């Protein structure tokens, strides 16, 4: 034990270390005991059906790693337009009275960019239902 080190750290931190060890043991010992008990009294019986995918009892076919339809990007863009707009518009509106001219111009530029996306989506017919 380094006597200089303990003098610098102080005795207050020893309690913390004891707490840390106690916390680790509190978590790990029951897990270890459960593992030990399971090893003896709950022998695993693996098999191809048991380890298979759970599909409500049906056999799963195909792969989950398949490409999704790329036209869903439209939803992402429209969501971005409305969601990001509202996130920035609300603080802008709250702080509007005390803003310098530069900040208002920057905000207008940002709004122009977002509205541009909205106009593009609108003209593409994305907003039309069915």
Partner 1 sequence: MDPGLRSELQRHGIFVTTLEQLYNWGRSNSLWPLGFGLACCAIEMIAASMARYDLARFGAEVFRPSPRQADLMIVAGTVTKKMAPQVVRLYNQMAEPKYVIAMGACAISGGPFKQGYNVLKGIDRYIPVDVHIPGCPPRPEALIHALMTLQQRIAEESLTGPDRPRHLRPDQPGEYPVPEFGPHDLVPPKNPEIWHPPAIRRPA
Binding interface with partner 1 (CB under 8 A):
41-47, 49-50, 52, 54, 56-59
Q: Considering the complex, what minimum distance in angstroms separates the CB of residue 61 from partner 1?
A: 14
Q: Considering the complex, what minimum distance in angstroms separates the CB of residue 64 from partner 1?
A: 17
Q: Considering the complex, what minimum distance in angstroms separates the CB of residue 38 from partner 1?
A: 10
As given in the structure block, the two tokens for residue 39 are 């090893």
Residue closer to partner 1, measured from CB, 57 or 102? 57
Q: Are 74 and 128 in contact (CB under 8 A)?
A: no
Residue closer to partner 1, measured from CB, 44 or 102? 44
Q: Considering the complex, what minimum distance in angstroms separates the CB of residue 25 from partner 1?
A: 22
Residue closer to partner 1, measured from CB, 12 or 62? 62
State the Cα–Cα distance between residues 79 and 94, nearest whole angstrom. Answer: 23
Check residue 11 and report its DSSP letter: T
| C-alpha closest to that of 110 among 80, 85, 79, 91 | 85
Residues 6+ apart with CB under 8 A from 126: 74, 78
């Amino acid at each position: 034990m380094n006597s200089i080190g303990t003098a610098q750290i102080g005795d207050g931190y020893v309690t913390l270390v004891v707490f840390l060890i106690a916390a680790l043991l509190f978590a790990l010992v029951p897990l270890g005991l459960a593992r030990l008990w399971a090893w003896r009294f709950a022998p695993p019986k693996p098999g191809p059906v048991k380890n298979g995918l759970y599909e409500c009892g049906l056999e799963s076919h195909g792969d989950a790693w398949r490409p999704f339809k790329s036209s869903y990007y439209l939803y992402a863009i429209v969501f971005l337009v409305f969601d990001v707009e509202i996130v920035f518009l609300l603080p802008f509106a709250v702080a509007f009275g005390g803003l310098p001219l530069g900040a208002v111009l920057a905000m207008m530029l940002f709004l122009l960019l977002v509205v541009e996306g909205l106009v593009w989506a609108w003209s593409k017919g994305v907003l039309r239902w069915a």
